[in-house]
Amino acid sequence: MKIALMGIGKIAVDQHIPAINTSPDWDLAATVSRHGKVEEVEAFTDLEKMLAARSDVRVVSLCLPPVPRFAAATAAIQAGRHVMLEKPPGATLSECYALEALARKHRVSLFATWHSREAAGVAEAKAWLAGKTLRKMTITWKEDVRRWHPGQDWIWQPGGLGVFDPGINALSIVTDILPDPIHVARAVLEVPENCQTPIAASIEFAHPHGAEVHADFDFRKTGEQIWSITAETDQGTLVLSEGGAQLSIDGTKRLSATEQTLTGEYPRLYARMAKLVSHGDIDVDVAPMRHVADAFTLGQRIMVDAFVE
């Protein structure tokens, strides 16, 4: 199927384009971007013009920041195109619900992607936790914003999520692997005095059976980057590290079965999108976003020193 990619920035170059180019399902037929281009692919600077000119493009994959994504997704859906959304799927929950309703009205597929759920160890972690009693879960997501998001000022503006831009990856894994739903009980958000969104967050969750669940997110981590989830249960301890790529149980490393079938998070996302389109299905799970919204609602805001890149 012919696909168009909108937003040719770092994530598109690093992940989306290689995944599309190596997939047997997709042909990258057009791009839409103010500045970025892909060699030997027709480039547009306006989505409406691309939709009018390329009726053969069945799918549009959106790699825009969250705030402008809704308008682009709406235009593509109304033009009868299937749409794939980078995480988070919108700037607000209401936008996501509206897009899903619009997709159903126009009978097109809509996929709200969560790439970290496709990490190699996640499926096996979910299977292992099923049927066990959780006692404690510790989520630690600490990375250097200067390294991973250079010059991306939108992260610090309303709708940009701040530290929740990477932190929502952890929440996407947690909401997938836990047998029981949790919700935010308390949160502390550290907001730089020159920003609108937090640079760090500490969150306590309520678990239906009383397990301790805590998350620490920080965008200021230099040196070793930490993306780990530790789950202590009545039958042992599970650790997902490297953003879900590595899994160990009681100190023993495990090989995920999914790693043997299809390598890479984004190739798996695009394979999933191909199946959704072929079956006319929709996959929009906003569970990770609910936690972020609740943290913003309940969170105690603490002002910290100005962020300087």
φ, ψ dihedrals at 220, nearest 5°? -110, 15
Q: How big is the CA angle at 87 (ends 266 and 22), to the nearest 5 degrees?
A: 15
Closest among 299, 254, 37 to 124, alpha carbons compared = 254
Instruction: Name, in order, each residue with C-beta under 8 angstroms of 200's C-beta and a sequence gap of 6 or more.
Output: 163, 189, 190, 216, 217, 218, 219, 220, 304
Beta-sheet strands, E only, within the chain:
2-6, 27-32, 42-44, 59-62, 82-85, 110-112, 134-142, 183-192, 200-206, 212-218, 226-233, 236-241, 246-249, 252-254, 300-304
* pTM attached to this predicted model: 0.94
User: Does the pLDDT value for residue 258 go beyond 80?
Assistant: no
Average pLDDT over residues 46-71: 96
pLDDT value of residue 18: 96
Average pLDDT over residues 165-175: 97
The predicted-structure confidence for 259-277, as pLDDT tens digits, reads as follows: 444 569 999 999 999 999 9
pLDDT value of residue 254: 83
Average pLDDT over residues 237-249: 96
Average pLDDT over residues 141-150: 94
How sure is the predictor about 172, in pLDDT bands with cuts at 50, 70 and 90? very high
CA–CA separation, 171 vs 130, rounded Å? 18
pLDDT value of residue 255: 60
The predicted-structure confidence for 122-131, as pLDDT tens digits, reads as follows: 999 999 999 9
Average pLDDT over residues 151-158: 92
pLDDT averaged over the chain? Answer: 95
CA distances from 205 to 130, 181, 209, 291, 304 (A): 19, 10, 12, 9, 24
Residues that are catalytic: 87
User: Does the pLDDT value for residue 151 go beyond 80?
Assistant: yes
The predicted-structure confidence for 4-45, as pLDDT tens digits, reads as follows: 999 999 899 999 999 999 999 999 999 999 989 999 999 999
% pLDDT > 70, the chain: 97
AA letter at 202: S
